[in-house]
Structure formats: C-alpha cells, structure tokens
Chains A and B, each alone.
Chain A
Amino acid sequence: MILCIAMALAAPVAPASATLQPALEAELVRASALRLPDAPPPWLVIYDALDGTVHESAAEDGALYRTQHGPFRLVRAEVRVGDATVDSSNYSGFGEPDGVTTRRLPVEDDALALRREVWLATDVAYKNAVETLSRKLAARKSLQEPPPPDYQVVPPVVRPAGPHGGDGYTAEQTDDLARRLSDAASPVGVESAAAEVRDWHGWRLRVDSAGTRAWMATGNVVVRVEAVVRRPDGAEVRDARWWVGRDATSLPDADTMVAETRNMAQALLAAAATPSPEPWLGPVLFEGAAAAELFSQLLAPELVGTRPEESSESSLFKSGSAPLARVGRRLLPEGWRVWDDPSTRTGAAGEYEVDHEAVTPRRVDLVVDGVVRDVLMSRIPGKERTASTGHGRALGSDRRGALPGYVRVAPKQVISAKALRTRALGLARSVGHDRVLVIRRLMPPALQQQLEVAVQGEGPMAGLTMPYEACLLAANGECTPTRNLRFVGVDRRLLRDIVAAAPGEGPVDMLDGPPGPARYTIGTTGGVPTTWDVPSVLVSEVELDPADAGEPRALDIRRASP
C-alpha cells in the first residue's frame, strides 16, 4: 500500500539546465579555431550532452545488493575533419581512437567548469579525427569504387526545451520494487532470483556547428526479474519477466508485477519438474512476447541500411562494405508487410519526436508483399539510400547508425488464435507428432549467455535465443510445459517458412542494441527502446535440441521457509 501511494507520486523530471547550452555554444565557437599544422580544420563539431538522473537498484532473494542513485551528466564531443563527402567518420581501426570523445560533466551548473570538460574532450577528438582521416584515406587506396558520402547535410534544427512531461521512479521506489520482485520470484524450490530496476530520465541536447540547437526529453524505465531452478540432475531451468516503458506511469503497478512474478516462479517450478526434453523437429507456434522477440532478432538486421564502418586492410575484424539489409530480398511470405513509424503517439517506448541526430522520424514501408522495399537510415548515406529516415540512434557514444523504432508486422491474412493452434496441430500430425511445440517467451538478447547466437547464418549455431517458456500442445487443449530447448541453425530464412498467423497480443516494448554482436552485450538494463507489434505465427519446421545438462548440487540449498 505504501508503494502504491509512492507510485502515484512518481517524481516529475527536472527542467532543462539553463547553463548547459550556452556552455556548449561557447566551446563550439572556440572549436572552430582548432588547427594543426598541415591538417584540415574541423568541418563539423557536434556536442551531444545527456543530463538527467539515474535510479538503479538490484536485489537478490529480497535484499538489495547494488544501488546507484543520482545525477548523471556527460558530453559526447564529435569532431569531423574533411567534408561531408569524405571525412574522419565511418572508419574504425583496430584499437585506434576516433574523432569522438566522451567526458563526464560536473553536476553543478557552473559554466566555466562545464566548458573546461568540453574543451578537453574537443581537443582530443580533433587530434584523433585528423589521424583517423589519414588512416581512412590510406585504407581507401585499395578500393575499386569510392564509398558513398560520409554524412548527409540537413538544415539545422532548433528545438527549445519544453516541459519534460515524464515521470520517473524515485530512489525509494526502484529499491522497493527490486526487493519485492526478487522476493516474489524466490519461493521454496527456486535456487536464486534476482531483480533489476533502472530508471533514467532527463534531457538530450545536441548542439552542432551547423546551427542545430535541439533539446530532446529522454528517458526510459526497465524492470527485469529472473529466477533459476536447479533440477536434481543438475540442469538449470530459467525464466524471466521484464517490463520496459517510457516512464513509471507506463508500466503496470508494482502489485501487478509482483503477482505476475509469483506466477512465473510457480510455472518455472512446474516446468523444472518435467522430464528431460526430447529433440524437436517440426512445426513451432510462436505466441505473444515470443513472436515479438522472434521478429526482433531475425528481422531487425535485415531492415537497417547503415553501412558498416570502413576498416584498415590489416584489421582482424574487417567487415564488408554493404549493410546486411538488401532491398529486393524476400524475407516473409507473399502479402506480408512491415513498416516502422516512431512518429505515432500511442505511448509506446519506441516512439520519439526526433532521433539522436535531431532528425524527425518518418514512416518507412520496409517490407511489401514479403520483399524488402526500403531500409531504415540515419544521416550516414548508403549507396542507394542517401537520406535519413529519422532512425539515427545508438548506444552511448557509438556511431549514430539506424535502429528500429516502432515496427509493425502485418500478415496477408490472420486466422483466430484458436484456429492457428488447430492448424499447428494438424501440421504436427502430418510429420508424425501428436503434439505441437508452442513457445510463449524467448530469452531477450540482454540476458543471453550463449555467444553463439550472435553468429548469423545457417549451421550448428543457434541463431536465436533459447525459449524461456514453452509447452507441448495436445489436441485436447492441454499444453504440457517443456524446458531447456535450444534452437539449431536458425537464420532469417526461417521467416519465409511462416505458414499462418493470428492476431498478436499487442505491442511489446523492449531494449535493444544495433544489429550484430553488440546486441548481445548491452547489459540487462541497457539498450535503446524499441517497440514491436507482431502477430502470433506458425512456422512449418524448426529444429531444437536439449540444452546441456549441469552438475547436480552436493548440498541442499533450499529456502528455509516460505
């Protein structure tokens, strides 16, 4: 009850600093004078500042074990030398610095102290940018065809700071929620249970030498709780729940999350008591959150048009010059459509007014009739697509590539959820199964512990994170929990094997990273907010194997009392 009252009093986000913008502008003027002998001056200087408050709490079995509460303020200084056609960006040398430097800023609104940190960041960024450009030009000597221009020039954007409008959790609320959730996930029989709650709210300010002065209200809240049961044979069985939202008011109330967590823990204990799973080869029904995760993991890399960074000839991690996404590639069955539109105003976490490059997002019709027709772009031009679609977002100080915002997937036709299950059972029978595998929840990449998933392509690698919640559906409607299955050899072509779809269960907010290995290292509460609204789908054939077993415990470590 106390928490409910506190929830109603979620703290409004502080107004934007009146000192930060003038401080950045003052250093912008001085940055134009930067000059090294026989080296080009900056053609563009960009300051991205984050100014807000973080409340982060982590608890295990009902007791806090980590907290971080307080102001958070930093600047990302990006200096580009060259020109918009060829500059020091979009290049990565192995272990070499680039023209981006990040420094923490004083939390106090002291103009001179702020400027001092920005000055130091700019100086280092400029020197690194000059060297980066020379390395990049040297590496380009071996190219047969010049790459696309490095940056799209757009008119400057001026967006004053208005009221923030968001409500963040307080320190006491994140602490209390972490305690309650980790306790709820830990009934007798659960070996360990942990919960993390992170609330970040504040402002993003972009100031650049092209004239942009854009304040953007920013923030999100993420709640994750995970429980682990160890079976007598040593196998670990896991499940988790997570909630992502724009702010505290967009999440369920604490009591609802606690109740759902308790249910999860009981279901996990039941699943852990089931016999060891058999390998599965046959149709699979992806429902609810599992369907959203399926599309997010397999489709997102196919929709992003940002080209990889150029690299030196000798780089161990030399990547291709073209993005993974390819216009004209069939991804889905005929009649299916996919579009991304972060500009809607439904309250979804993946919606925003301007991206990290201060570009207003637009709807992009990505897949038409099952075939890729357009891709998401930031201000990094591609060979075919040269203009931003307003999807330039990134983790931390990373390069501003394109990321999905609010993606909708629409099948050619839908049947009812009941009809979809009937169809799935029929398909299973046709290949010799009397039941069909239903997956309700997949492990999000943030909790991923199998690095093999990061590798794209068909083969022995999983290609998709393991199911958290799955059951075998019988004709009588009974769905028997199963556990510890792992995908084998999944890649984007699985989506072409979708044979039927039913209405989804609504948009799913999640935190995600850019396509590629970085997606699996964002941390349990990191990432950029995205939203996926997808149908439940039946895939004609998917292969899953039992995951490796563990070593049994020697001691009885059960909870002392309920």
Chain B
Amino acid sequence: MMRRALFVAGLLGAAPAAAATDPTLATLQATLKEAQAQLAGLREPDPAYFVAYSVVEHRALNIQGSHGAHAGVVPERVRSVDVDLRLGSMQLDSTHKIRDESFFTAAGRPHWITGFEGASDPLRRLLLRATDDAYRAARARLLKVRSNEAVKVAREDDSDDYSPAPAVQREAPAPTLTVDVAAWSALTKAVSAVYLEYPEIYDSAVQLVVTEDDRWIVNNEGTAVVDGFRHLRVATWAETVADDGMGLSVYDYVDVGSTARLPDQARVEAMARAVAERTVALRHAPVIEPWTGPAILRGRAAGVFFHEIFGHRIEGHRQKDEDEGQTFTRRVGQPILPPFLSVLDDPTQAQLAGEDLNGHYAVDDEGVAAERVTLVDKGVLESFLMSRAPVAGFPRSNGHGRRQPGNDIVPRQGNLMVQAEGTVPYAELRKRLLAEIVRQKKPWGLVFDDISGGFTFTGRSTPNSFAVQPVTVWRVYADGRPDELVRGVDLIGTPLTTFARILAAGGEVEVFNGTCGAESGWVPVSASSPSLLVQEVEVQRREKGNDRPPLTPPPGAHP
C-alpha cells in the first residue's frame, strides 16, 4: 500500500514549475513564433490572422471501495494539444458557419495527444504538425465559406466572425495536490461496507476522484497563460431495482478544490448511509402518474433547472446561428422572468454558501479574463454569455469561451447564480405551496429535492422543450398528511411558459456542482439558486427498465 502511495504522489507531483520561465510555455511561444514566420513566408492571399496554442495536461486518480473491499486505484494522465487557426479576416474567416453543410462533408476537428514529459522538441514538432494540418484544413474551408456566402441569402446577423481582445499575461500554476492514497483506500473500503447492511442495494461504491488540470495558452496577440484547475470529489452511489423493473440509482457527492476541505470519514459514512436509506425508500416508493400542478424546486434542483432551461439559451453563439431556436435573441431589454429574480454568471467567484464552485476560473479557454455578467436584472434580459465570436449588439467577449480539449470553443456557463429579492424562509415558501394546492383544488403538490441532470433542445428542428431528471421528489398533501417519497417522473416543459409561472423564492441558496456537456465538450460548472415556488409544473413518466431484481439474495445476506 505504501508503494502505491508513493507512486501516486509522484504522479500528482508533476505540476508546472512556478518560475516565470515555464518550459512548456517557452516551447509554445517559440514554436508559435517559428510557425508564424513559416506561415508568413507562404505568401498566400489569405493570412492566418490568428493562431493560438493550448495545452492541457489532465491528471486524475480514482480511488474506489466497493462491497467492503478495495476495488482499485486508477490513475489517468493525458496531455492534449489544441491549435486554433483562423484564415481570412475577423470579418469573415475560415471558421464561419457553412449553412446547410452536409454532416458527411463537414471536416472533423483533429485532437492531438502529446507526451507529458521530456524534452521540448517532441512538443514543438507536434505543434508544427498540428499547425500545418489546421492551416491546410482552414485553407480548404475558407473556399467553401466564400462560395456558401455567395450562394445563400443574407445572414440575419452579419456581425463579424471574431473580435479583438486584450492580451493576457498570467502565470499562476495551480498547487500540487497531495493525497494520502493509503488512507483514502482504507476510507473508501470501510465506508463501502455500509451498503452491505442493505440487502436491497445490489451495487454500490464509494470513491475519491482527484483531478489536476494544468493549462498553457499562447496566441499571436501576445497572450500567455499558465494556470490550472484542481478538483476533488468524494462520491458514493447505490443502485437497486424496484419490483416493477425500474432501475433506481442515488448519487451524492462533495466537491472541493483543495485536500484541506475534504470531508472526514464520519461525514462520508453519513453520506453513504443517507444514500442507502434513500435508495431503499425509493425502491418501495409509489410511482406517480403524469400530472400538472404547483411545486417547489429546492435550491440545488432549481439551480439545475435554470442551467438547463435558461443557461443554454443565453449562450452567445445560439443568438447568431439560424438553426437555433433563438428563444431570447430579440428579448434584450425585455422582461423574461418575474421582477424579483436576477441571474448572473460569475466564473471569478470561487465559493458560495460555504461551497467551492466548480465553474470558477480566472481566464477562459480563449485567454480572455473571466467577467461577472448580469444576464437578467430584476426580470429583464440584459446580456448573453460571450466568447470572442461577436453577435449583433454584443461585439466583445465577456470571458465565457470554454471547451473540453479537442473541441471548438463556444460560450458556456461557469457559475450560474439565480438571485432573488424578497425571499421568504423555506417554511413560509412551503406554506404558500400548500395554499396554492388548495387554490388550484389539487389533492397534492410536489417538492423536488434534488435533480441528477437533464437536457434541453435549443434548435429549430425540434420542439424547444426540456426534461430534467429528479432523484428525490416528495408528494406534499394540503390536508396535513405526511410528505410521501415518490418515484418515476421527469420534469418537463417549455422555457417561456415555465418562467412565467415562478411565483416566489425562499430558503437558503444551494449549490449544484457538476459537469456540463454541449458542443464544446464537457466543462465544469455550478448552478446555485434559492428554492422556487412554481405555480404549475408538468411531470411525465420516466423511461424505466424491465429487468427483474436479482433472482437470488446477495452473497452473505441473511435470509
């Protein structure tokens, strides 16, 4: 066990040097200069007016316990390279959307993996190779862009393809995380044994996932960034199958940004026990039918709800893309939410309500300083999340250009925060729910405690609906009966209708930390909100499995 601990400590100890002369940064800068000189020497009519190199070294360590045993330690280390090259001019360049482009002729974006050690020349050669590939691909694409512009009707939004941004110089390597692998192997093993006390839980695990991402960005405008992202997640999950074949899974976790904030064994054990109790309770909970009526979305659930149905619709590129539904494109300056609600996105904020925020960063993936953006002020739409690709009325980036390595950058959410004026204590919000149930002559209402995730359609070719998947839903009766845990529903709807029905906000602000997947890959995000009372929500039956529970009891279970 000690040998493994030392090995992992060594692995995680590979953070970039704190000195100003970071060797990777130096290689990127020197190679960019070399590439620029070569590109200039080609004397082609269309210049490569923008070239950026980005390197991300991702190191992860997954320590897992399962069924009371040590399940293994899985390290991961990969160093990705992205080359962003634009040919033409900021007004019209090689990245411009080709309208009605066939899926089969659209060129994929190459993703490069490079060595995570050793001399600089392998990285230099790979960067030059990737630059060459990107240049030749851009040259071919710009021809198509121009012919597409000539053939198609005028664009609704004729803003430029790219915008200037001040050069950023930032050398702030993230500190190395030191994890006691032996101790966490013992902890995850010990806590995983909790689930053995619950024969109706079939599969389960407890894990610590440690992530260190180091990042280097340079571009031909003088930007040079060295920084990193540190993240630790202690998570536990349990699975069962209800007698009707519905697979049920409960997941809980704690996200922190430093080892000092990791929970102790007692807290992880309490978390596992709560997950176990909830899983078993869900197995015996009744399934509810499709329904409409009043509901409360508790803080974390409300955060995810806003992330899905609002956040993705105010990403800048969707306001320009004529294949998108553009729900809010022409609503700037108009009310879209009740006047007591404001929404902002602030990647510069590291903590909220005592929790580390997953969407915290200082500089985005285009090398632009992150900004706190007020998206909705007292119900009125003010702004969009912007990368360096402008849209009409929003000519510059506000530092939200993000991606998972290997993808094109688009504007994404960071820390989405729903803020409310005139909030009431949660008990009062609940009283208002009960009153709303009575007013609507409904037998009951719903409280959504937690939501595991969701999805939304924003394009024009599909209905602009959303679906979010609650984990814990309570049926609340107006006649004083105790709340009842229910299962088997998804929360569905369309955004504009749903926003119009938010009646009140209350209780503490809660934070949902997660990872969001979209066009530019998976990026860490958070969403926070107080609880929200909604006049009417709609739920539909959830897709369910049909497998019988295991035919024999678990090994070691007492009959």
Contact = CB atoms under 8 A, between A and B. Distances in A.
Contacts of B132: 553-555, 557
A69 B75 CA distance: 8
B462 interface: no
Interface stretch (B211-219, B376-384, B439-447, B547-555): B547-555
Interface in A51-84: 59-67, 69-71
A116 B67 contact: yes
B69 A65 contact: no
A267 to B, nearest CB: 21
A66 B555 contact: no
A102 interface: no
Given A70-B73, A555-B131, A557-B128, A64 B117 contact: yes
Contacts of B129: 191-192, 557
Nearest to B556: A112
Interface string B522-548: 000000000000000000000000011
Interface stretch (A26-34, A199-207, A461-469): A26-34
Contact of A61 (B35, B69, B121): B121
B115 A63 contact: yes
A115 interface: yes
Interface string B113-142: 111111101111110110110011000000
B124 A560 contact: yes
Interface stretch (A117-125, A312-320, A495-503): A117-125
A352 interface: no
Given A30-B552, A126-B551, A555 B35 contact: yes
Contacts of B136: 551, 554
A127 B547 contact: yes
Contacts of A110: 67-70
Given A61-B115, A64-B117, A107 B72 contact: yes
B66 interface: yes
A27 B547 CA distance: 21
A119 B552 contact: yes
| Most A C-beta atoms less than 10 A away, residue of B115, B119, B189, B548 | B115
A63 B118 contact: yes
B38 A560 contact: no
A292 to B, nearest CB: 32
B78 interface: yes
Contacts of B435: none
B35 A70 contact: no
Given A112-B196, A116-B555, A555-B128, A106 B114 contact: no
B372 interface: no
B72 A71 contact: yes
B79 interface: yes
B328 interface: no
Interface range on chain A (Cβ under 8 Å from partner): 35 or more
Interface in B13-55: 35, 38-39, 42
A119 B551 contact: no
Given A70-B74, A554-B42, A62 B122 contact: yes
Nearest to A31: B552
Contacts of A108: 69-71, 189
B396 interface: no
A69 B547 CA distance: 36
Chain B interface mostly: mixed
Contact of A63 (B122, B548, B551): B122
Contact of A107 (B71, B125, B202): B71
Contact of B551 (A64, A106, A123, A191): A123
Contacts of A35: 551
A179 interface: yes
B158 interface: no
A346 interface: no
B77 A67 contact: yes
A322 interface: no
Nearest to B48: A554
B203 interface: yes
A423 to B, nearest CB: 45
A114 B554 CA distance: 12
B77 A70 contact: no
Contacts of B189: 108
A113 interface: yes
A384 interface: no
Given A110-B68, A191-B129, A64 B548 contact: no
Contacts of A561: 121
B124 A65 contact: no
A556 interface: yes
B117 A120 contact: no
Contacts of A112: 67-69, 196, 555-556
A2 interface: no
A36 interface: yes
Given A108-B69, A113-B66, A64 B555 contact: no
Interface of B: 35, 38-39, 42, 66-75, 77-79, 113-119, 121-126, 128-129, 131-132, 135-136, 189, 196, 202-203, 547-548, 550-552, 554-556
Given A113-B68, A120-B202, 9 more contacts: A60-B114, A63-B122, A106-B72, A115-B556, A119-B550, A119-B552, A554-B38, A554-B135, A555-B135
8 contacts: A27-B555, A36-B551, A64-B117, A66-B78, A115-B555, A115-B556, A554-B38, A555-B35
